[in-house]
Amino acid sequence: MNSMNLENKRIVVTGGAGFLGKQVVAQLIAAGADPAKITVPRSRDCDLRQWDACQRAVTQQDIVIHLAAHVGGIGLNREKPAELFYDNLMMGAQLIHAAYEAGVQKFVCVGTICAYPKFTPVPFKEDDLWIGYPEETNAPYGIAKKALLVQLQAYRDQYGFDGIYLLPVNLYGPEDNFDPRSSHVIPALIHKVHEAQAAGQTQLAVWGDGSPTREFLYSTDAARGIVMATQHYSGADPVNLGTGYEISIRDLVELICDVMAFQGELIWETDKPNGQPRRCLDIERARQAFGFEAQVDFRAGLKATVDWYRQQKTLQPV
By annotation, the residues acting in catalysis are 141
Determine the 3-state secondary structure of 270 from DSSP: coil
Closest CA to 4 of 226, 156, 232: 232
Enumerate the β-bridge partners of residue 164: 108
Between strands 38-39 and 170-172, the pairing is unpaired
Measured distance between the N- and C-terminal CA atoms of the chain, rounded to whole angstroms: 54
> How far apart, in whole angstroms, are the C-alpha atoms of residue 313 and residue 78?
29
> With contact defined as beta carbons under 8 Å apart, do 111 and 268 qualify?
no
Q: How far is Cα 156 from Cα 101, in angstroms, rounded to an integer?
A: 13
The bridge status of strand 265-269 relative to strand 203-207 is parallel
